[in-house]
Structures are given as C-alpha cells and as structure tokens.
Structure 1
Amino acid sequence: MKSICSLALAACFAAAAPSQAAVVYSGLQNITVTTTFDGVYLDVDAGTTSGTETTGWDINPFFGGEGVANSPDFQPARTTIALDAPILNIAPGSTVDGTLNFLTGFGGSDSHTGNGVGQFASGTEGYIGFKLTPNDDSGTFYGWMRVVFSNDGSTGVIRDWAYETSGSGITVGAVPEPSAFALLGLGAAGLLRRKRK
C-alpha cells in the first residue's frame, strides 16, 4: 500500500510541475466582427478586444471580415510573399510553422473571401494560420484562429484561437489535452479514496 501511495504522490507532483511549453487556447469566444470600418481589434495573447485601435492589438477584421488588418506582431499566413497577397484559409489538421508565407510589418487583406482555392467562403468557418510575437516579446509562436468571414454585409465571428509557446509548429484545430500525468494522478487519488472506504 505504501508503494501505491508513493506512486500516487509522485504522479500528483509530476502533474503539478510546470511544463516548458504549452498550447495556449482561448476557449470559445465568438467575438463579433462588425460590418463597420472599425470592426474589432483583438490582442491575441492578452485576449482583449476593442472597437478602436488600442496598444497591443494584433488583428483587426472589419466589414464582417471582408477586410483584415494586422500589426507587425501578428502575421497571418498568406498565399504568397507579395505585399498584397491574400490571407490563406488553412485546412484543419494542417501544420502552421515557418514553412508558410509570412510578411513583416503592418499588413492587410481584402481579397481572401470568395470561392477560389485558399479563400474563405463567405459565412463558412475557416482557419487563419499565424505567427505571433506576444506583448512581452518572449518569442515567436505559431498558431491558428477559427473565423467566419463575410463579404455580403453580414457580421463575421472570431470563434477561438490557439498558439504553441515552444516556437514549434502547431496543428490547425489542436487544443490542449489533459496531461497523462494529471490523469495518472487522478486515477491514483481515486484508488486511495477507494481503499479508505
């Protein structure tokens, strides 16, 4: 019994130990992208929004997502490296990493909605792949953002997003899962509770 207790304690401590890198997930947000020119300004790593430009903003979809502006700290993957290249709609399960086309500096896109390959279909969910430099300049991280853009005068939506804090690539649609150690610790705690009854 003492060995089971020791194993359970070790598993609990392992589960509580901080990891070096993690997937940061926003949770479901459903942020409305208005049909106005201002749209919505989103600071991805802080998780804050505003109807006007604020310090730390990363992405600014407007006119329901028909137009998208980005700060130098948030670079969406694009179809090519041309300055006016549209944002790319990336398929779920794809990898977002340094092999995609990213620009530098402030940018924008107004030709990413339509019926073409790599475009966002109006009113249908799609994914932006992005490269992010967080507000604290702690690194360059890759992530995805699930959106619904519109080019018919309807509002758009930023559903959720995630990014990997190790600097490695991330799978589009991937969200953090409970640690195996945490599950082991919960199982061991259940065994201890059962034994005491």
Structure 2
Amino acid sequence: MARVRLNGGLSRQIAALVARRVDQVADDLAENARAAAPDGKVWQTDADEQVRPSHAKAQGQLIPDNVDFRLHAMVYVRKGRDQDGQGVNAAGGWKEVEGVWDVAERPRDARLPYHQTVNCRCRRIELPGAVAAGVSSSPARPSGRAITASVSVAFPRVAESEYADQGGGWLAAAARQAAAKHRARRR
C-alpha cells in the first residue's frame, strides 16, 4: 500500500480556486438580476390641503413597477349621530379604513373605487433602473467544507415583486440563467 503525502497548502490553493469560481457565479447572477429587474415607481401627490388622506399616506410610496400601490380604503361617514344613536360625529366625511387596501398600478387606475379617482391629481413617477441599483453580491467565503457567496436585492417590497403576477420571477430566472452558463462551461 502506497501512502501519498499532500502539501499542507494544497487545500488552501483548491479553496482559492473554488472561491474564484463561486465569485464568478455570484457576479453573473447579480449581472443577470440587474438586467431583468423591473423599474421602480413612486406615488406623488400635489401635497396640498385638497389631497385625500389615503393619497397623502401613499405619498412617496416607492415600489417595483410590477407591484401595485396600496392605498387605504375609505368609507363615507355621515355627519350627525352614529348608528346606535350614541355618539355625535360632528365632522363627517371620508374616513380611512385601517388594514383594508385599495390597490392600483397608477393614480386614477380603473380598478380603484370612484371616490379614490375622481379629481385625483396624483402622478406616478417612473424610476428606470431603481431596483437594479439595489442588487449586490458578496465575495465568496469558505466555511467548513462549503464556500458560499450571496446575491441580494435591497428595495421596498422586492420579495412581492419576485412573486408578482405581472413580470414576477425575474430573480429566479436570473439564477437559472447563471447556473446554466456555468454548467455549460464545465463540459
């Protein structure tokens, strides 16, 4: 039986080679994700006293373009006594319903109830490349017998964007594309 004695630095050299490969895969994934990421959008109001409370709360809402804006649902409360005849509602008017949402792709979206769209002066501001700017990758790190790197996306509601009905699955598609590219290189 023959014994082979390996150089003590060989495992470090192998780990360095594998780490470079893992870095390449992570960089390719990040590049593919940036190319496939949806644009961003922001809800903007005129910020004056005529803006509805639900639209004022949506002011500055920054989200991926393939996700809907969320506006608090509203209900009209009549001026006067409440239904039980107990309290007096002196103000009356439109009130927000907490925890209930109306959703819209843009201001004045046809899916919104009439009272959310009539005389609305809000705008959707397009932000090309905003989600892509939040994509980053970390360098490969050895940990025990594994070498890992990560790719992350920092943007509001980005997880919802990945699973959205309109254009979702962009990050998973980028990962499949990077994996296929590196699998083909091995052959």
Give me the TM-score of the superposition, normalised by structure 2.
0.27
Q: Which structure is larger by alpha-carbon Rg, 1 or 2? A: 2
Give the TM-score of the pair, scaled to structure 1: 0.26
Q: Which has the higher helix share?
A: 2
